[in-house]
Amino acid sequence: MACTPVLRHLVNKLYGKYVHKDDRELLNFVFAKNPTQELLDNCFSVCDIEALGAGKCILLSYLAHDNPDLKLSKYAGPRITGLITYYRFANMKTLSHFSRIGKAYNAAGIPMVLFKGGAMKVLRPELPRPMGDVDILIPADRIEEATRIGEGLGYLHYKEESKHAVDFHTETESAVDVHHSIFDPDRDLKQFHDGLFARATPRRAFGVDSLLPCHEDLCFLVMANLTKNLREHTSLGNLYYALCDCQYLQKASSFDWGLVWRDAVVCGQELEIRFAAEFMNAIVADTIPDLDKYFPADPAMEAFCNQVIFDEDYFLPRQKECQAIRVVELKNNPWKFGSFIAKFLLMKKLRHNPAFVDWYLRKQCPQEFMDAH
């Protein structure tokens, strides 16, 4: 089943929102199959690297690393070098927290699987990248012990913050997310977790004995995380790293897209992975090859897309406005603000009901709804 109209509508909608016009020349160069000096010079003539921001400009160092014959301009060169130095030291600070916690887990015999940015840093240690923390997965039955160890080392966490991880941090810095489940435990993920550990290989990482997932498992997690970030508005400044990671991971000679899809099926993430693939390919063509062969579309995709559009256009903006309401405003005008909050709470209760979402979208924007479907 090819890309459905509503899926295409959603991909175009989010592409227009998150892939800015100024990014195009940068993307054309960073993801060029045959990068040339002419392409690089043209990129710098169009893109203001000061305006692009560090998270995007650091991608230029990836190409420079793989193509040492390309020469950065006198203006851009020192700035890119400065970014590399900055992220190298920023990564060292983040990884020092992982090293401290990880060594304590080694001593306690708690196995851990590295994933997300920490895993990619192990695979490509010479390349800098933005890393807010380090993510690890441990067996679910060791989480209480692991939490006590982190607390004993002086790290802070909020127990109610997550249903699937303990977020260790200091008063000023993020440190390590210790997952006992990759996703919120709304379904049994034991089969996936067992497979993830079984396929992982032992790796000494930053002074810690850990496990590194196979490339296919990492690719699945990168794609699932991309969809999560788009849906929940988290880590949006680093969207393009997902494309870099997927392109790098699939270079493995024995890479098996079938395993990526089996991961999605076991985790109930088929719709999320197909959506991530479509969005990636909209940014850089053929990042994920043969979509219909490897990631077949599902009739449930329409309801999934409606949910994302509802959240993007109506639920998340209202949630943000509710969070900004001050107590004094609610006290002085309880009817106006109380009614606004009550509608939000009703939307929150019904937001996962497909019939409600379908009705709401038809009511709020009937023409756009009809055009999309």
pLDDT in tens, 238-248: 789 999 999 99
For residue 1, pLDDT over 70 is answered with no
pLDDT class of 300 with cuts at 50, 70, 90: very high
For residue 235, pLDDT over 80 is answered with no
| Mean pLDDT estimate for the chain | 90
Owner of token pair 């329409």: 302
In this prediction, residues 184-192 reach a mean pLDDT of 85
279: phi then psi, degrees, rounded to nearest 5: -70, -40
Q: What CA–CA distance (Å, rounded) separates 251 from 325?
A: 49
In this prediction, residues 171-194 reach a mean pLDDT of 90
For residue 110, pLDDT over 70 is answered with yes
3 state SS of 114 = strand
pLDDT class of 20 with cuts at 50, 70, 90: confident
Whether the CB-CB separation of 205 and 163 falls below 8 Å is answered with no
Tell me the whole-structure pTM to 2 decimals: 0.91
Owner of token pair 């489940």: 181
Q: With 0-12 CB in 10 A as exposed, 13-18 as middle and 19+ as buried, what is 358?
A: middle
Q: Given this model, what pLDDT does residue 236 score?
A: 76
For residue 186, pLDDT over 80 is answered with no
Q: What CA–CA distance (Å, rounded) separates 251 from 348?
A: 42
Instruction: Say how many C-beta atoms besides its own lie within 10 A of residue 20's C-beta.
Output: 12
Portion of the chain with pLDDT greater than 70, in percent:
98
First CA to last CA across the chain, in angstroms?
Answer: 15
Q: What is the dihedral of CA 308, 311, 312, 316, to 10 degrees?
A: -150
Instruction: Say how many C-beta atoms besides its own lie within 10 A of residue 308's C-beta.
Output: 21
pLDDT class of 2 with cuts at 50, 70, 90: low
For residue 152, pLDDT over 70 is answered with yes
